[in-house]
């Protein structure tokens, strides 16, 4: 899996969760994960999560670390497993830094405040996952925690690269593990 940290800020509005967005914009063909920082504002018209639409819960963050991954030849259930794997990796890396994190499905909470947003969906050709971590918590429509504002993490790029590399390594290791056993 290819990984890339995008240096320029990008406002995540939901339309980036689209087949081949990574390939078209960053020339990474095939399975890939990218990370970038910027404002996040997903209006109900761009929502993939029907539950959020029904509950009238648009997403907003003044400044967020976003991950988008596109993976091919994967069904939706496996895509959700991969989404949860990414969330677990983030939780593990935060805990390695001494930060207590509660995971509830694909949500990460710090002291009852929401740190993350995440969704997995299926396109005609691939699985798409967006996971966002608040960098700043101010202005969020829910009680939120931020990587920098509450947790004191200032090396966002380094943290993002560590998450992406661990995710790519884990998927590669899973694939390799599936090739070393004999059938019974």
Strand-pairing partners, residue 146, are: none
What is the model's pLDDT at position 150? 95
In a domain, residue 90? The reply is: yes
- What is the rounded average pLDDT of the residues 95-107? 97
In a domain, residue 131? The reply is: yes
- What is the rounded average pLDDT of the residues 161-172? 98
In a domain, residue 119? The reply is: yes
When the pLDDT of each residue in the chain is averaged and rounded to a whole number, the result is: 96
Q: CATH number of the domain that 121 lies in?
A: 3.30.930.10
In a domain, residue 16? The reply is: yes
What percent of the chain has a predicted confidence (pLDDT) above 90? 91
In a domain, residue 182? The reply is: no
Per residue in 31-82, pLDDT (tens digit) is 999 999 999 999 988 889 999 889 888 899 999 999 999 999 999 999 999 9
What is the model's pLDDT at position 16? 96
In a domain, residue 184? The reply is: no
**Class of residue 70 by CB neighbours under 10 A (exposed 0-12, middle 13-18, buried 19+):** buried
Token pair belonging to 103: 């995971």
What percent of the chain has a predicted confidence (pLDDT) above 70? 100
In a domain, residue 137? The reply is: yes
What is the model's pLDDT at position 57? 85
In a domain, residue 37? The reply is: yes
Confidence of residue 148 (pLDDT cuts 50, 70, 90): very high
**Residues 130 and 12 sit within 8 Å (Cβ to Cβ):** yes
Q: Flag the least confident range among 38-42, 44-48, 107-111, 178-182.
A: 44-48
The range of the structural domain enclosing residue 111 comes to: 2-177
CA 154 to mean position of chain CA atoms: 18
pTM of full prediction above 0.75: yes
- Give how many domains the chain has, as a whole number: 1
Confidence of residue 119 (pLDDT cuts 50, 70, 90): very high
């Amino acid at each position: 899996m290819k990984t890339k940290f995008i240096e320029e800020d990008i406002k995540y509005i939901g339309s980036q969760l689209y087949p081949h967005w990574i390939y078209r914009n960053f020339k990474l063909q095939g399975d890939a994960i990218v990370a970038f920082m910027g404002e996040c504002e997903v209006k109900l018209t761009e929502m993939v999560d029907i539950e959020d639409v029904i509950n009238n819960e648009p997403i907003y963050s003044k400044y967020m670390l976003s991950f988008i991954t596109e993976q091919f030849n994967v069904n939706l259930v496996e895509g959700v497993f991969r989404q949860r794997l990414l969330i677990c990796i983030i939780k593990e890396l935060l805990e390695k830094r001494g930060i207590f994190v509660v995971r509830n499905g694909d949500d990460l909470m710090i002291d009852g405040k929401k740190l993350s947003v995440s969704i997995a969906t299926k396109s005609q050709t691939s699985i798409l996952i967006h996971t966002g971590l608040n960098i700043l918590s101010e202005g969020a429509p829910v009680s939120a925690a931020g990587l920098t504002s509450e947790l004191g993490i200032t090396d966002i790029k380094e943290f993002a690269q560590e998450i992406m590399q661990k995710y790519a390594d884990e998927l590669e290791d899973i694939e390799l593990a599936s090739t070393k056993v004999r059938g019974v």
